[in-house]
Amino acid sequence: MRQLSRLAFAALAATAAIGLTGCTTTVDLDPAAEANDPACAEVSVRLPDTVDGQPRRWTDAQATGAWGDPSAILLRCGVEAPGPTEARCITLGGVDWIVDESRAPQYLVTTYGRTPAVEVFIDNESVSPNEALTQLAETAVLNGTTAVSACTLTEELLPDATASGG
């Protein structure tokens, strides 16, 4: 009987542990490859308590952030910096961002020309991407990363054929 009580207690403890982890407010994220960059620590300590009205939540990975419940905004610092691209580039909050619209209305947006690079996943149905990126840029990205280049319009790179008569 004592053996049965121990097994029942062990099963109850395991069930309680599973139930408690299901109630956690911590967001499970994978750190970026360069999350240990000291500049990512600078970004992390500057992350705001709210973004576009969404409260910040704890994450379980270095150099990450999350806002909203369910998460409407996810941030990772130390991702691979994008190279030259024809993807849409926007400037918000003084930071250039490359926009991946392939999963719209959720957008993956990555800093362009900044080291370390920061990516932000935004649910456009829950928050304003422009507002979220502006707030993150002004509070954390501008102060934690270094600009090394900027987006350039294709028209600025290509010679104007009409100007030379061709």
Mean pLDDT for all residues in the chain: 84
Is pLDDT of 6 > 70?
no
Q: To 10 degrees, the CA torsion angle through 68, 141, 149, 33?
A: -70
How distant is the alpha carbon of residue 119 from its chain centre?
4
Rounded Cα–Cα distance for residues 139 and 106 (Å): 22
Residue 164 in tokens: 């030379």
Which range is least confidently modeled, 24-28, 78-82, 134-138?
A: 24-28
Which phi and psi angles does 15 have, rounded to 5°? -65, -40
What ranges make up the beta strands (E) of the chain?
A: 50-51, 54-57, 64-67, 73-79, 89-92, 95-100, 106-111, 114-115, 117-123, 146-147
| pLDDT at 24 (0 to 100) | 61
Query: With contact defined as beta carbons under 8 Å apart, do 74 and 110 qualify?
Result: no
**pLDDT tens-place string over residues 27-76:** 999 999 999 999 999 999 999 999 999 999 999 999 999 999 999 999 99
DSSP annotation of 137 reads I
Q: What is the mean pLDDT of residues 8-31?
A: 52
**8 versus 118: which is more confidently predicted?**
118
| pLDDT at 25 (0 to 100) | 79
At 164, is the secondary structure helix, strand, or coil?
coil
| pLDDT at 23 (0 to 100) | 53
Q: What is the mean pLDDT of residues 79-101?
A: 95
| pLDDT at 17 (0 to 100) | 31
| pLDDT at 154 (0 to 100) | 56
Q: What is the largest CA-CA distance in the chain?
A: 97
